[in-house]
Structure 1
Amino acid sequence: MKIALAQLNPTVGDLSGNCQRIWEVVQQAEQAGADLVLFSELVVCGYPPKDILLREGFIEACDRAVERLARDIKSEIGVILGHPTGRDLPAGRIANAASLLHQGKVVSRVHKLLLPNYDVFDEQRYFRHGDLKQIKPIEFQGLKLGLHICEDAWWGQPDTFYHNQPLELPDPVKILADAGSDLLINISASPFEIDKRERRHQIVDAHVSQYTVPYLFVNQVGGNDDLVFDGHSFVTDQNNQIVLQMPGFKEGLQVYDTEQSLEAVSLEIETSSREEQLFQALVLGLRDYMYKCGFADCVLGLSGGIDSALACAIAAEAIAPERVHALLLPSRYSSEHSVADSLELVKNLRLDYEIIPIDEVHRAFENLPVIGDDLKIQPAGLADQNLQARIRGANVMVRSNQHGWMALATGNKSELAVGYCTLYGDMAGGFAVLSDVFKRDVYRVAEHVNQRGGRTLIPEHILKKAPSAELAPNQLDQDSLPPYDLLDSILKGLIEDELSVQSLAREYPIETVRWVANKLDRNEFKRRQMPPGIKLSTRAFGSGRRMPMAARFQWEIE
């Protein structure tokens, strides 16, 4: 049998658009000689659909869309795709399903058994667990297909933030393998994280080693809200050799022949650098967020610093340079090189830009009654610094509102973690493109941008100069923050590894760890108000990390 793997980029809720794309790819698969084509989890409605699943009539519309697709596919090709369904379930209950369409009908359907309920996943809020009695292979052209959905492959994983269902729920893959499946097929919507691809291969390797059955993995690609799906679909044969792998971060269709020679060359997992993975995920996440929200252009403040420079480079790659509008907003405290570096960057990237000094507006605030008196109490103090950031944010938002451009916030994960950012100032915007990138990774990805382009796009002076908000005389970030390498190491331990102060104090200075932990907790209210960003790590600020704002936690227990 020839089986086509289709990794598509669906838009959440766009049933007609997604189904049209599915139909087009089915035609392509048929022309390529495929007998069966596989699509990803919930491809009909897009993943994750979240509370749109609760809207009256939505599930019925999804079921009708699947049945319409079945009727519209006139050829003999089989189609397996993911969708939510209410068919054959108690009233008001729905399932995360995969259906086999053939000869104008839905001939088989399976339901997902293991429903993830950790990190960004909340499937138990919506779906009913599959019925154990219905976990069995489906038959097509004489083969038994062990079809299962995403998390069903992750049974028994010990990781803190991966699947760890109660033991009373059995392993769906084992059930399917024991029932005589000729092929194991997993359709997924597995979001990108650094090192996630290798983890998927480890899980599949374990299944194939145990059951000696070929394994086909089909993943969604594209950005939806704060998640990026990297694709990287693949096939592993019964000898645990990778015989097909698809590219990351773009749509694709490839065909696997179950009758291919057992002597087929085993492929090595195609790997790219950490920096390239981050860059590709950031570009795809920004591009899809803008496209799916209806934005063609974006606007951002360009400070001459590394964060806004990298944000510009990502945006230029995502949507084209002429659609990126940079605002240079110097204040009385801005250095000469901040404007010069910004001008060099916009020239290198070929961006549209404007220079709008903010000092006149800043002085107008100083001359206001009451407000001006407050500002004179501590010139260039916290209130005055934040005012400048908010004047800049207001300029960005005026351009955004007037021209329909999406405003980009450029703060990184390190700053957002400890509150080194201004609400309604540099945090203002529609999307926070670097919100899950620590400062040290900002530098690494920026250097990679220059290497991958074959020429210097981000000026060397921006890469080498000491970071500064330039909101007070001679200001440097390190006057207020620990060195970024130290800060980022502690933050990774606190946020991504959920370590205690006591544990981290074994490796880092205890007073610094206490300071960082306190800042992290006290600034939860700021992060609750930040724009959405792109999840790149195991623990990103956003929907997967649900910390209270009004709380007191004793980090160190006596």
Structure 2
Amino acid sequence: MRIALAQFNPIVGDIAGNAEKILSLAHAAIVQGADVLVTPELALTGYSPEDLLLRDSFYREVAKGLDTLEQLDGITLVIGHPVKLGNERFNAATVLRDGHRLGQYHKMLLPNNEVFDECRYFTPGAAPLVFEQNGVKVGVLICEDVWSLEPAAETADAGAEVVLALNASPFHRNKIEARHEALRYRVEETGLPFAYVNLAGGQDELVFDGASFAVDKSGRVVAQAAAYDDELLLVDFADGDLQQGKQTALPGPLESVYRTLVVGVRDYIGKNGFPGTLLGLSGGIDSALTLAVAVDALGADKVHAVMMPSRYTADISVTDSRDMIARLGVKYDEIEIWPMYESFMAGLAPSFAGLEMDTTEENLQARIRGTLLMALSNKSGKLVLTTGNKSEMTTGYCTLYGDMAGGFAVLKDVAKTLVFELCRWRNTVSDVIPERIITRPPSAELRPDQKDQDSLPPYEVLDAIMARYVEGNQSAADIIAAGFAKADVDRVVRLLKINEYKRRQAPVGPRVTQRGFGKDWRYPITNRFS
């Protein structure tokens, strides 16, 4: 029996378009001798449809999509889709062959943590599904089902000889290794081989990294698809086990994060129909990385960078920005903001009389820049990419309606220390980021001789505290006990808490850690817990 794992990039809600993609993959699989084609989880609708799943009209379109796929002959299809039966909704997989529906599996385990809300939409399934193909008994599981023993054990007890696992498993760092490990446990517990197919592509803040694979009865990965790209991975079942197939090398840790950012930008811009992107280029490392990602995602012709210097902008910031523009060849403008700033200050002078200068004047500069970018966005239709990183989002070192103004936050889940690592990695591919941008001390350049570390703990300290508190859910006391200075921990935790209202108004951005400031961060703004 030859199995084809249909790793592809659907568009949420484009049911007819996704069905056409599946048909195209099925035809290609038939040509290559496949007996079964298995799609990812909710492949027909894309993952996740969220509250589209609450609309009856959505299921009527899903039914039409299944009817289209049912017309195909010559191969068995295992299609991931939602289904509504009476008043209950299920995350399902339907087995289709030559105009017949051989069975339908309902996902047993519904994740309701991190970025997953499946208990909001679905009822858990209660029974395994095993169908026969070429004399082989084939079991079906969906995503979360393979992360625990019970569904796999029930499928084995039902007589399965091999298991097909449909997945919509989004990227976070070290996720591919975690999937391999989970499947090895299932193999060890059940004695069955598994073929695991995953989605590819970006959906709002989630990026699905593909990397579909198969493991044999010994737990060895015998076939491995590429990460991020569409692919039809073929794997044969013979002599009671999955056989050795194609092995594609997987990206390393930094390349994985970088490619996640690229796919996130590419699909957010492309799937939403924007003609291109705009971003403010400062001569600093965050905007430099954002620019590199945007060009790699979309091509230089769809990226417009704008330098908006003030009297506090260092000459080398302008020089380095022009240098990077020359390397990448994107459209570039310079707009001096100081005359606008002076006009604002003149208008505010009566209200500010007798008051000392403070961050108000700094934020005003950032807001002028945000206003200019949004005006250019309105005029051109291009989406503004914001350039702030996760360390800044944690501490509120960012300006509402200023550098936070935009439609997609590329570095929202990327810590500052990781920004440096990614820039250095990107320069190993081709030298696009001037070295001085990487080595200069970071500065917002909103007042004379300003440095980020004047206002924040050293980034290596800040990011380590952030990783423990935000991503690891450790308490402040636990972090202090681990050796961090109490003053630093208290400061970071306080800044995190008082800036929740800012994060709630930030644009979405691609998730690269196990806990980003998006779907999986839900803290009350009004909150006295300490």
Query: Which residue is 1:366 aligned to?
Result: 345
Report Cα offsets for 1:214-271 as digits up to 9, x if no partner: 1100000100010000001001112222211000011100211112797966988844
- Which secondary structure state, in structure 2, belongs to the residue aligned with residue 57 of structure 1? helix
Structural mapping, 1:272-283, within 5 Å? 272-283=251-262
Query: Which residue is 2:378 aligned to?
Result: 401
Structural mapping, 1:88-99, within 5 Å? 89=85, 91-99=86-94
- Which secondary structure state, in structure 2, belongs to the residue aligned with residue 422 of structure 1? coil
- Which secondary structure state, in structure 1, belongs to the residue aligned with residue 385 of structure 2? strand
Match of 1:124 among 119, 125, 141: 119
Are residues 1:77 and 2:99 paired? no
Q: Matches of 2:27 and 2:156 in 1, distance apart?
A: 31
Match of 2:443 among 463, 468, 486: 468
Query: Which residue is 1:377 aligned to?
Result: 355
| Aligned-CA RMSD value | 1.6
- % identical equivalent positions: 41
- Which secondary structure state, in structure 2, belongs to the residue aligned with residue 238 of structure 1? coil
Match of 2:211 among 226, 232, 257: 232
Report Cα offsets for 1:143-184 as digits up to 9, x if no partner: 11110100011126xxxxxxxxxxxxxx11000112221101
- The question of whether the paired residues in 1 share the 8 Å contact of 2:191 and 2:217 is answered with yes
- Which secondary structure state, in structure 2, belongs to the residue aligned with residue 367 of structure 1? helix
Q: Matches of 2:177 and 2:353 in 1, distance apart?
A: 54
Q: Matches of 1:264 and 1:258 in 2, distance apart?
A: 6
- The question of whether the paired residues in 1 share the 8 Å contact of 2:128 and 2:158 is answered with no
- Which secondary structure state, in structure 2, belongs to the residue aligned with residue 24 of structure 1? helix
Are residues 1:539 and 2:520 paired? no
Query: Which residue is 2:274 aligned to?
Result: 295
Structural mapping, 1:105-504, within 5 Å? 105-131=100-126, 134-155=127-148, 171-259=150-238, 270-368=249-347, 370-371=348-349, 373-374=351-352, 377-379=355-357, 381-453=358-430, 456-504=431-479
The code of the aligned residue for 1:152 comes to: D
- Which secondary structure state, in structure 1, belongs to the residue aligned with residue 379 of structure 2? helix
- The question of whether the paired residues in 2 share the 8 Å contact of 1:67 and 1:106 is answered with no
Query: Which residue is 1:514 aligned to?
Result: 490
Query: Which residue is 2:33 aligned to?
Result: 33
Q: Matches of 2:278 and 2:56 in 1, distance apart?
A: 37
Q: Matches of 1:215 and 1:306 in 2, distance apart?
A: 43
How far 1:141 moved relative to its partner? 2.6
- The question of whether the paired residues in 1 share the 8 Å contact of 2:13 and 2:45 is answered with yes
Q: What is the TM-score when the length of structure 1 is the normalising length?
A: 0.92
Report Cα offsets for 1:42-62 as digits up to 9, x if no partner: 000000110011123111221
Q: Matches of 1:490 and 1:143 in 2, distance apart?
A: 52
Report Cα offsets for 1:190-212 as digits up to 9, x if no partner: 00010111111111101112222
The code of the aligned residue for 1:93 comes to: E
Report Cα offsets for 1:283-302 as digits up to 9, x if no partner: 00110011111112100100
- Which secondary structure state, in structure 1, belongs to the residue aligned with residue 238 of structure 2? coil
Q: What is the TM-score when the length of structure 2 is the normalising length?
A: 0.97
- The question of whether the paired residues in 1 share the 8 Å contact of 2:366 and 2:399 is answered with yes
Q: Matches of 2:429 and 2:417 in 1, distance apart?
A: 18
- The question of whether the paired residues in 1 share the 8 Å contact of 2:233 and 2:246 is answered with no
Report Cα offsets for 1:403-454 as digits up to 9, x if no partner: 000000110000000000000000000000000000000000011110022x
How far 1:213 moved relative to its partner? 1.6
The code of the aligned residue for 2:148 comes to: W
Q: Matches of 1:547 and 1:428 in 2, distance apart?
A: 22
- The question of whether the paired residues in 1 share the 8 Å contact of 2:5 and 2:232 is answered with yes
Q: How many residues align?
A: 529
Q: Matches of 1:375 and 1:103 in 2, distance apart?
A: 80
The code of the aligned residue for 1:112 comes to: K
Query: Which residue is 1:166 aligned to?
Result: none
- Which secondary structure state, in structure 2, belongs to the residue aligned with residue 228 of structure 1? strand
Gaps of 5+ in 2: none
How far 1:346 moved relative to its partner? 0.8
The code of the aligned residue for 2:138 comes to: L
Query: Which residue is 2:24 aligned to?
Result: 24
- Which secondary structure state, in structure 2, belongs to the residue aligned with residue 256 of structure 1? strand
Are residues 1:52 and 2:52 paired? yes
How far 1:376 moved relative to its partner? 7.1
Q: Matches of 1:392 and 1:359 in 2, distance apart?
A: 11
How far 1:64 moved relative to its partner? 2.4
